[in-house]
Amino acid sequence: MKERKGLIIGSVILIIIFIGMLIKGEPSKNIMVWIAAILTLSIYSFLYRDNIFYKFAEHLFVGVSVGYSVSVVYQNAFIRRVFDPLFITRTYIVEGQFHILPFLAVVIPTLIGLLMVSVFTKRQAWLIRIPIAFVVGSYAGMSISPSFQANIFEQTRSTLHIALSISSFIMIFGVITTLVYFFFSKEHKGFLGRTANVGIWFIMIAFGASFGYTVMARISLLIGRMNFLLYDWLGVIK
């Protein structure tokens, strides 16, 4: 009862503020801006609790994005990589001669991809393992070298530029203790445990810095949205 009362009072205050802004400002005459603003407010309404406006915006967002991505995949994957090379540009026919390799380069991936559809049949559903094995295996294999380069070499190279300065010592101390924390083969007891504890401190300090940095970036996003609502939509900010 108390909550409902608060809700009504809050809503009335918000409506009064909104009407005030409409009178005082120069509201946009663009219908798209109004739609965007209403959808923004609908999403923000989740801050109070789940409600019909949020549900509407959420389902609209999901529906529109799925529809959009289906059309993008159809155009970029099916038409451009399968239909066009097979039936329009015919990449496998060069100077009137049929070439088997370019033909297979289109047909084999297409057939492997089509095996994904086997999941809809009961007896042949096992066939889906073939494309899955192909995808997981190839992606895992492809990511080995970049992972080594980006996550190990690049980091190590930067660490190894050692200068005899306090910051350099702190960095090396931090790197070694943090690596010790991620050592799983030994129980974190005694010297190893103390070193790992120092590592955790370094990790948490880094997280704290990262947290603050990212929060600042998020605040700029919020400012951007507020700017849209108050400048583009209501025209309160000049």
Partner 1 sequence: MRNRVFKAIFLIFLFLLPSLIFAQEGMEEAEQDTLAPPDTIAEILSPTEIKAFDTPNDAGENITITWEAPEDPYGIIVGYEIFRSEDKETGYEITGFAGKKTEEFKNRTNDGVVYYYKVRAKTSDGKFSPFSVISEGTVSQPQWFHTGRINALVAVVTFISLLLFFVSTAKKGKSLFIRKIAGLDALDEAVGRATEMGKPILYVPGLSSMSDVATIASINILGPVAKKVAEYESTIIVPNRDPIVMTVTRQVVKESFLEAGRPDAFNEDMVFFLTDSQFGFAAAVDGIMVREKPATNLFLGMFWAESLILAETGNMTGAIQIAGTDAVAQLPFFVTACDYTIIGEELYAASAYLSRTPVLVGSLKAQDMGKAMLIVVVFAMLIFAIVNTVFLLTTDTPNAILSRIIEFIQGWFKV
Judged by CB under 8 A, the number of residues near partner 1 is 65
Angle at 105 between CA 92 and CA 100, to 5 degrees: 45
Using DSSP, state whether 93 is helix, strand or coil.
Answer: strand
Stretch that binds partner 1, among 5-13, 85-93, 100-108, 202-210 (CB under 8 A): 202-210
Contact string (CB under 8 A) for partner 1, positions 99-118, x = contact: -----------------x--
Dihedral Cα 207, 209, 215, 220, nearest 10 deg: -140
Q: Does 203 engage in binding with partner 1 (CB under 8 A)?
A: yes
Q: Which of 85, 116, 117 is closest to 101 using CA atoms?
A: 85
Instruction: Please tell me the distance from the alpha carbon of residue 38 to that of residue 50, in angstroms, as a whole number.
Output: 16
- Binding-site member from 30, 69, 71, 121 for partner 1 (CB under 8 A): 69
In the window 161-190, what residues touch partner 1 (CB under 8 A)? Answer: 161-164, 172, 175-176, 179-180, 182-188
Cβ at position 217, least distance to partner 1 in Å:
9
Q: Which structure tokens are listed for 29?
A: 């005459």
Instruction: Please tell me the distance from the alpha carbon of residue 234 to that of residue 22, in angstroms, as a whole number.
Output: 6
Q: Are 233 and 18 in contact (CB under 8 A)?
A: no
- Binding-site member from 14, 17, 62, 237 for partner 1 (CB under 8 A): 62
Which stretches does DSSP call E strand in 37-137?
93-94, 97-98
Q: Does 156 engage in binding with partner 1 (CB under 8 A)?
A: yes
Q: Which of 13, 16, 25 is closest to 229 using CA atoms?
A: 25
- Binding-site member from 25, 38, 41, 46 for partner 1 (CB under 8 A): 46
Binding footprint of partner 1 on the chain (CB under 8 A): 43, 46, 49-50, 54-55, 57-58, 61-62, 64-66, 68-69, 116, 119, 128-129, 131-132, 135-136, 139-140, 142-145, 147-150, 152-154, 156-157, 159-164, 172, 175-176, 179-180, 182-188, 203-204, 206-208, 210-211, 214, 218
